[in-house]
């Protein structure tokens, strides 16, 4: 069940932007866990996973749609994302939202998926004092040909199948969400994108999760994180694609709760 959404106004690129968000799980002052969605995701596309995890872990979850997604302000038709779009989400949009909600100074944990996992890593690297730990599912730290090939196939699916109609269930403007993500990932200027050097400054513990059947990334992503961030533990899941929280929810819940029990002092088990 999707939690009821609210709106917060932030300044983004010199214009007002409304961000849809929802609180799930325990009330304040429970530890704060921020959820960062994938490249085609939104608040609603998480469905009940954030609520389940926060209930099991005794945490307060913040779930939101980034600009251009869900019920947040859509991307302008003539707006193209640059290769640093994830950096800007990590350094500008998320801090602005936390400030608008009055929790910018509160220690936080992060749970990110795909592009959202990369944003979580970048945010943890930049805000080392505030971020206590992060769980990253199918993160990208560099561009793999496998990812490019699969994203090219998704473009064909958007044009030739009912993918646009299915995304319209979760986004006010599915073209805003899809083309913003798809075009930058397929842009030649994005092929050299990498955050391998930046994540070396992360000091908090990480749980990095990768499905062995992921069409958008290989184990090189999470193993590359472990090589650069000493406090990383890995979870490699068989029979699991790009969305581990949907393909293997029980395994992800159990591993996440065990991780949070250690880094956040939570002693509850998954329900």
Helix axes 145-160 and 174-185, enclosed angle (nearest 10)? 150
- The H-assigned helical ranges of 47-190 are 49-57, 85-88, 94-100, 115-126, 145-160, 163-167, 174-185
Residues 6+ apart with CB under 8 A from 1: 47, 48, 51
Q: What is the pLDDT at residue 265?
A: 66
Q: Given the DSSP bridges, would you call strands 206-211 and 232-237 parallel, antiparallel or unpaired?
A: parallel
The domain spans of the chain are 6-263
Q: Tell whether the torsion through CA atoms of 37, 60, 128 and 217 is positive or negative.
A: negative
Phi, psi (deg, nearest 5) at residue 50: -60, -40
Residue 2: predicted pLDDT: 62
Looking at residue 173, its pLDDT comes to 96
Task: Confirm if 142 and 65 have CB atoms less than 8 A apart.
Answer: no
pLDDT < 70 stretches in the chain: 1-3, 265-271
Residue 269: per-residue pLDDT: 38
CB 121 within 8 A of CB 130: no
pLDDT digit string, tens, across residues 136-176:
999 999 999 999 999 999 999 999 999 999 999 999 999 99
6-263: CATH, from 3.30.1330.10, 3.40.50.1820, 3.60.20.10, 3.30.930.10: 3.40.50.1820
CA 3/CA 12 separation, integer angstroms? 25
Predicted TM-score (pTM) of the model is 0.95
**CA 248/CA 238 separation, integer angstroms:** 9
Q: Is the peptide bond before 242 cis (omega within 30 degrees of 0)?
A: no
- Return the pLDDT at 271: 38
């Amino acid at each position: 069940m999707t939690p009821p959404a609210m709106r917060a106004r932030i300044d983004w690129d010199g214009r007002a932007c409304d961000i849809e968000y929802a609180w799930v799980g325990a009330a304040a002052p429970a530890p704060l866990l921020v959820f960062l969605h994938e490249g085609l995701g939104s608040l609603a596309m998480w469905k009940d996973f954030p609520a389940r995890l926060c209930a099991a872990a005794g945490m307060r979850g913040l779930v939101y749609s980034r600009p251009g997604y869900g019920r947040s302000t859509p991307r302008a038709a003539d707006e193209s994302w640059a290769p640093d779009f994830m950096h800007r989400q990590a350094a500008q949009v998320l801090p602005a939202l936390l400030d608008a909600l009055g929790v910018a100074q509160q220690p936080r944990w992060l749970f990110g998926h795909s592009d959202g996992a990369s944003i979580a890593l970048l945010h943890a690297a930049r805000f080392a004092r505030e971020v206590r730990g992060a769980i990253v599912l199918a993160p990208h730290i560099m561009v793999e040909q496998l990812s490019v090939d699969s994203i090219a196939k998704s473009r064909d699916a958007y044009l030739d199948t009912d993918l646009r109609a299915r995304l319209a269930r979760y986004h006010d403007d599915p073209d805003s969400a899809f083309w913003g993500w798809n075009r930058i990932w397929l842009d030649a200027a994005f092929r050299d994108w990498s955050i391998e050097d930046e994540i070396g400054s992360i000091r908090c513990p990480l749980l990095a999760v990768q499905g062995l059947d992921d069409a958008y990334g290989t184990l090189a992503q999470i193993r590359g994180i472990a090589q650069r961030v000493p406090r990383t533990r890995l979870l490699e899941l068989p029979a699991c694609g790009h969305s581990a929280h949907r393909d293997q929810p029980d395994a992800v819940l159990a591993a996440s709760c065990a991780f949070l029990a250690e880094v956040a002092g939570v002693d509850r088990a998954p329900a």
